[in-house]
Chains A and B, each alone.
Chain A
Amino acid sequence: MGETQDLKFLPLDDVHKAAGAKFGGFAGWNMPLTYPAGVMKEHLFTREHAGLFDISHMKLFVVSGIGAAAMLSKTCPIDAAALTLHQSKLSFFLNDEAGILDDLIVTRLGDDRFMVVCNAGNAEADEAHMRDVGRHFNVVIEPLDRVFLALQGPDAAAVLVDAGIGDSGLLFMTGVEPRENWFMSRSGYTGEDGFEIGLPEKDARDLVAKLTADERVMWIGLAARDSLRLEAGLCLHGSDIDPSTDPAMAALLWAIPKDLRETGTFIGADALRAKIAAGAREKRVGLKPEGRQPVRGGAPIVDENGANVGRVTSGGFGPSAGHPVAMGYVATALAKPGAGKLFAEVRGQRIPIEVSPLPFTPHRYVKG
């Protein structure tokens, strides 16, 4: 799993070692991949109780100043000034061609104060991009050093109440600063109800000790994080979306307000309008392979004549679904269930694969 010598270590590395984690490299970080329970049990436990994830590889930025909303509305296809206090929104940094540089979540914390949560692998580029655009706005961009934890699953809210944290009255896709130097949102990457909490290392060690003493909580590694998000139909940047894909073909236009698609001036707006007008040649879809054999990212998709009509971008086994699950891109005419016979090529064999609605397991967000 990559070179280990240049990897960055999580602040709670020792805690994961003590918990028996197996580590591997991901986005430049030495990450817990699995704990002794193993990916299958970790995955199922999260859907039944509450999984605890250390996602400190992800980067939090506070964007503040009287130009903060205007700057974010330039870098992202959102109207940051229209976000209500505490509202979170999934968005993107786009390039001039509307290619997706990163996906991120923006939360409004005050009139002129926003939290931006970015992916680990893009954090440096994201910061450079924000600083570059930020030169034209009255704005301060502050990267935070935080431990970032996610607690996901149906027991997450009750566990946090019993740990003395509570749910801060949060509903899905809202976020607050409940204590000094804390950021807490009701969101996640599993399709379950859950919370993400950024906090100083010392506070994190106290919180982790409380949470892991609760029998409804189990440490969950990156392997199950991936199978959980894939079942939930959520994209992984670098696999399912990247600068060669745009929000239209990635079936993510729902994250962009309709008026902004038409008249927005965010970076990439004109290119995105042109792409929407021309119609996407291929679209991101859920894919269900026939049988038991997982189909992984990178597998070509062909039609019954063997013509290449797409590709798998993420794939594996879905422990809750009970069958292999995947997502990828197929030609637009084939991008709906039953539109045509498709096959994924795996090691010289053709495995029948069908377009399937996403998510594979229903979302259970608490929307109030």
Chain B
Amino acid sequence: MAKVWYTEDHEWLSVENGIATVGITDYAQEQLGDIVFVEAPEVGKQVTKGDTAVVIESVKAASDVYAPVDGEIVEANDALTADPALVNSAATSNGWLWKMKLADESQLTGLLDEAGYLKHIG
């Protein structure tokens, strides 16, 4: 059973067997507005917590999405190439951004659980 974590930067991570699926929260997609392009991350790339992993372009502006933990990008969501608006319509499911292999699962303990995230966005 996957466990879901959140960051203060409005990302979610669903972790199962050392692989995290990462996306942005519904709150975040609503703030960004209509998303028209998602710059796919490079599969195989090592990222460090805080690195820009993906850039999301809305009609209005470009926004960075940061790696929430250290690890290796193992998959990008190819469906977003044809339909970037999936991030708006299904931010926490089919609109996921990338999957990454965690370098250090203990980093997860510094993240928020759902209750903590809901409190964060108030």
Contact = CB atoms under 8 A, between A and B. Distances in A.
A367 interface: no
B62 interface: yes
Interface string B3-45: 0000000000000000000000000000001101101000000
A302 B82 CA distance: 28
A292 B61 CA distance: 14
Interface in A32-56: 33-34, 38-41, 43
Contacts of B33: 34, 38-40, 223
B37 A316 contact: no
B34 A294 contact: no
B37 A292 contact: yes
A292 B59 contact: no
B84 interface: yes
A294 B84 contact: no
Given A293-B39, A296-B62, A40 B57 contact: no
> In which size bucket is the chain A interface?
10 to 19
A229 B30 CA distance: 24
A33 B30 CA distance: 13
Contacts of B81: 292
A347 interface: yes
Interface string B72-83: 000000000100
A40 B34 contact: yes
B57 A317 contact: yes
A34 B58 CA distance: 13
B62 A39 contact: no
> In which size bucket is the chain B interface?
10 to 19
A245 interface: no
A174 interface: no
Describe A's contact surface by its main secondary structure: mixed
B60 A33 contact: yes
Interface in A254-313: 292-294, 296
Contacts of B37: 292-294, 317, 324
A288 to B, nearest CB: 15
A227 interface: yes
Contacts of B62: 294, 296
A121 interface: no
A316 B39 CA distance: 15
B59 A317 contact: yes
A243 interface: no
B58 to A, nearest CB: 8
Contact of B84 (A34, A292, A316): A292
A43 B59 CA distance: 10
B55 interface: yes
Given A39-B33, A293-B39, A294-B36, A319 B59 contact: yes
Contacts of A39: 33-34, 58-60
Contacts of A43: 59
Nearest to A317: B36
Nearest to A296: B62
For the complex of A and B, 9 pairs with smallest distance between CB atoms: A40-B34, A317-B36, A39-B59, A293-B37, A317-B59, A223-B60, A292-B37, A294-B57, A39-B33
Given A39-B34, A43-B59, A296-B61, 12 more contacts: A34-B60, A38-B34, A223-B60, A227-B59, A292-B37, A292-B81, A294-B36, A294-B62, A316-B60, A317-B59, A319-B34, A319-B59
